A and B are shown apart, each in its own frame.
Chain A
Amino acid sequence: MKHRYLVVFLLLTLVPAGLIVWLGWRVSAEEQHRTRREFIAVIDESLQTHRQIIEDRLADRFTDLLQVVETARLADTAGRRELARTHPWVRQCFEIGPRGRIVFPSRSQLTEAEQNFLMRTATIWQERQPFRLVDEYGSRADSGWHTWYWSDGPHYILWLWHPATDHVYGIEVERMRLVSEVLAALPTEGQPHVSIPSEAQIQLRDPSGRVVYRWGRAAVEADASPITSIALNAPLTSWTLSYYTGRIITTRQFSSQTLINTLAILLGTLALLSGLAIYFYRSMTTQMRDAAQRVTFVNQVSHELKTPLTNIRMYAELLERSLDPDDERRRKHLDVIVGESQRLSRLIGNVLTFSKSKQGKLSIHPQTGCIDETICRLIEPFRQKVGADFSIEQQLDAQDDCQFDSDVLEQILTNLLSNVEKYAISGDYLSVSSSLSDGLCEIRVTDRGPGVPTSKQELIFQPFERLSDKLSEAAGTGIGLSIARSLARLHGGDLSYLATDSGSCFKLTLRVSP
């Protein structure tokens, strides 16, 4: 039974938990995807900003350089050589005539630098028209950049077409100056206005993929791939700006956030479902245990009642002790308090015994004692209560020591005497007899009260049954006889009602050992 519940609860917990985890994973994967897209967008913007910085820096230079080309066009040989010798950006000037004829530098008189230039640019001059190419719109540009590769990297030419002569004039740019200028434009470490995360790095790579410059303190592996890259503008179209994040950071930035999200969802879900499961499980077991608990509750309440009851009784008695001996009226009042508190404690005792019997916890603890002594001890207070007009007969014949539970006997007899007090006080008569033989003790309690109708003689032993519901009838819980019989039977005997001519007779038997 319990196992079946457990299986059901586990199913109820794990299936939705799994479902939610899966959904959570999907959501967080989507979230990760979105975050990454946003992140890349931000990075793209950062890269574009830096490209713009380069652009801005180079724009003025390039404007100047076009002016330089124009100057070179107008200059003579010496002027052109001087330009190359003195202008930081100009490595060489040249002039190309129609059909690709090299006008300057003139092959007839070359300086060493010019010879080198022609060697560097040899591949260019193999084309008849290397510069004025037809673009995608079908038109030819009038000026532009030309990039070619020689030896250890790209070289750059800025050219200008002169329509009147159909000559192309140009300069070879000092490429290292160009690179240097780009680097100079870019941020250095610790520059506060350039905000890239400390765990990131931006790299400038040349066309061969070689890192030319980088900034940002992230540890980037040599073979790491960038988050995103963008190309620079002409003439550096094969150069890229790439954004990297540190190896550890990459996983943390994306995955760990996702992982945390997923874990949070998972834990939250599990907690919720476990909570629900525990709640349901609890309420089930609570229901299952309810009956038992109700009894336990009664048990506890009864115990709790004992302390105030003690105080009521004790203080009433203390008050009684300090009373003036002549103050009979008040003494009577206090007697009532004390008497009632005693009755209440007896009732509580019954309730406790009843609840114990329901819990199956009732047990007997036989000890050596004298049955008659116990009977006498109980009759004495009874005698005091009922007064001198009430006659009490004792025929006690169980004075030998034997093993029995005096508490049980006491409780049974108290109940029987209490019944006499409640229902048969009008008979003014009580007879108690005892005998002991063959390990069986028999005690009879007889009164001359109204008695019990034959039809109800068994009913009186049922809990909560009383012969009359009239309010005038004496109060009681209606469990006294039921408990008495249970106790008697527990003690190996019984309690039964014997029909008599007048009044009632209860026969109690208990199994005792010598």
Chain B
Amino acid sequence: MKNLFLYLTSLAFLVTPALAKQVQLEAALANPLLKSGQTNKTFLKVGLTGFALEADQERTPVNVALVIDRSTSMSGGKIAQARDAARLAVQRLGAEDIVSIVAYDNSVEILVPATKLTDKTPVLKAIEKLEPTGNTALFAGVSKGADELRKFFSKEKVNRVLLLSDGQANVGPRSPGELGELGASLVKEGISVSTIGLGLGYNEDLMANLASKSDGNHVFVENEVDLVAAFDREFGDILSIVAQEVVVTMDFLPGVKPLRVIGREADIAGQQVTTMMNQLYSEQEKYVVVEVEVESGKVDETRRVADVAVSYANLATLTPDRLTSELSVRFSDQAEVVEAQANAPVMAACVLLVATENNEQAMQLRDKGDIAGAKQALFDNAAYLESSAHKWDSSALKDYGFSNLSQSAAIDSPDWSATRKRMIELQIENNRQIGHGSGFVFPIDNQKKTK
């Protein structure tokens, strides 16, 4: 019976990669071997990797709303770069795509209502009208952008609001919580909001909250000359989405208690953990990490830990797919063996999320005014990352260690605002595994472009 289970599991592993155009599910425990005779805490990681797009394959059409801040603070180079960026976005899209452009200041103007991009000229012309005026009605801008998406809303398209702002929202709802609630509601519709914060004047908590609650990307662009590149990356992501409406359900078996989900929103209801992702990108891994408590077991006991089920909408085949996996642990009384059996990549991923959590806490200390405490916390975090990087052989941890170290150094400098924005950007990047996408794009109107 046990063997049959193992067989089935291994079969699943064998079969899954063989099927073309399916998301790859990889569920693993940080410690597949646990110390017997004691209650253990370990991490469960559920990784989902989008399949590769092939060159002859049609990508998923996108339905994107560019929501652009044109308040007076955007004057000068910023608005010019924003125009360039918007122009680039339009150029990258094809005839099957839908674009709308919303500009906001005190009030909102829809420069381009949602339209199929069969003719780019009027859209490019409308972008020229982007001129800075007035205040920042960010909430209304996003609301209108989302409403433009709804006009052509389809689950078979990528529906995305791309928000560019350089300032505080000062008209309408303006707290990070309120914008987060908006994002949380939008993601339930299948709309993500990617936010690009430009310069040092914007509210990073608000922008980050809006993006992470709606499962969008968040980018900090300190200098407007990098804006076009940021747009480019974002569109690289948008155009490489292969799956949407991803729901990960983990049912933990008795003797295993899910403690918390790190870095993502999730429902923990008793033994069941549910979390959602709005999309998966091609050749990019997204994962969920759950900290679990495993009751003590006997030596050599094998215990089923959890059944993992993933459902998603496959944008290549336009069918709902379902993947399953089950996880077990064994127990050993030899500490060295347990240690050696640890899954290094999973450990690295988990350490990154924990370190990110530490980083968030350090930032909260700094926000409360405890600069010294924050500095120390970041320093400690850097040390933790450094040692973990070595232990689990992870360059990502090493990099983040350096980041924390430099953040620790910058925390009492006048440069704090930029540092904080960079910190938040990295936190989201880590929690949601942003920026690892291939960015490889297949334009829909290939023929048109080669002409």
Q: CB within 8 Å of B: which residues of A?
A: 77-78, 81, 85-89, 91, 109, 111-113, 151-153, 174-177, 179-181, 183-184, 188-191, 210-217
Contact = CB atoms under 8 A, between A and B. Distances in A.
B107 interface: yes
A183 B140 contact: yes
Q: Which of A77, A87, A88, A152 is packed against the most chain B CB atoms within 10 Å?
A: A88
A85 B178 contact: no
A87 B188 contact: yes
B267 A184 contact: no
Given A85-B274, A184-B144, A189-B108, A212 B185 contact: no
Nearest to B273: A111
Contacts of B106: 214
B9 interface: no
A183 B139 contact: yes
Contact of A180 (B102, B107, B185, B269): B185
B434 interface: no
B147 A184 contact: yes
Range of interface residues on chain B?
Answer: 35 or more
B137 A213 contact: yes
Interface string B110-137: 1000000000000000000000000001
Nearest to A151: B177
A216 B186 CA distance: 27
Contact of A177 (B144, B185, B274, B276): B185
A389 to B, nearest CB: 115
A184 B147 CA distance: 6
Contacts of B179: 176
A189 B270 CA distance: 50
Nearest to A178: B185
B189 interface: yes
10 contacts: A78-B269, A85-B267, A112-B267, A152-B175, A152-B178, A180-B182, A183-B143, A210-B172, A214-B107, A216-B107
A188 B189 contact: no
Interface in B74-112: 102, 106-110
A178 to B, nearest CB: 9
Contact of A81 (B109, B177, B267): B267
Contacts of B109: 188-190
Interface in B227-262: none
Contacts of A184: 143-144, 146-147, 150
A213 B140 contact: yes
Q: Which of B142, B172, B175, B179 is packed against the most chain A CB atoms within 10 Å?
A: B172
Nearest to A189: B109
A155 to B, nearest CB: 10
A211 B146 contact: no
Given A176-B181, A179-B173, 7 more contacts: A112-B268, A113-B267, A152-B178, A176-B179, A189-B107, A213-B137, A214-B171
A181 B179 CA distance: 14
A481 B9 CA distance: 156
Contact of B139 (A91, A111, A179, A217): A179
B184 interface: yes
Give the secondary structure class of A's interface.
mixed
Nearest to A210: B172
A174 B139 contact: no
A112 B143 CA distance: 27
Given A212-B173, A213-B172, A176 B110 contact: no
Contacts of B268: 111-112
Contact of B178 (A77, A109, A176): A176
A511 B185 CA distance: 125
Contacts of B276: 85
Contact of B270 (A109, A113, A152): A109
A210 B175 CA distance: 13
A174 B269 contact: no
Interface in B163-202: 171-173, 175, 177-179, 181-182, 184-186, 188-189
B144 A188 contact: yes
A217 B135 CA distance: 12
Contacts of B181: 91, 174-177
B185 A174 contact: yes
A122 B373 CA distance: 35
A44 to B, nearest CB: 21
B174 to A, nearest CB: 9
Contact of A85 (B173, B175, B182, B188): B188
A86 B190 CA distance: 9
A177 B140 contact: no
A39 to B, nearest CB: 22
B107 A177 contact: no
A176 B185 contact: yes
Contacts of B182: 176-177, 180
B254 to A, nearest CB: 15
Q: Which of B181, B270, B276 is packed against the most chain A CB atoms within 10 Å?
A: B181
Contact of A212 (B139, B189, B270): B139
Interface in B258-297: 267-270, 272, 274, 276
Nearest to A191: B110
Top 6 A-B residue pairs of the complex, sorted by shortest distance between their CB atoms: A184-B147, A189-B109, A180-B143, A176-B182, A177-B185, A174-B185
Nearest to B191: A88
A102 to B, nearest CB: 16
A152 B177 contact: yes
A113 B267 CA distance: 7
Contacts of B143: 179-181, 183-184
A88 B149 CA distance: 15
B176 to A, nearest CB: 10
A210 B142 CA distance: 18
A419 B137 CA distance: 110
Nearest to B142: A180
A99 B143 CA distance: 39
Contacts of A181: 143
Contacts of B185: 88-89, 91, 174, 176-177, 180
A175 B181 CA distance: 8
Contacts of A113: 267
B177 A183 contact: no
Contacts of A211: 171-172
A188 B267 contact: no
Contacts of A87: 188
Q: Which of B107, B139, B274 is packed against the most chain A CB atoms within 10 Å?
A: B107
A213 B189 contact: no
Nearest to A202: B107
Contacts of A151: 177
Contacts of A176: 139, 173, 178-179, 181-182, 185
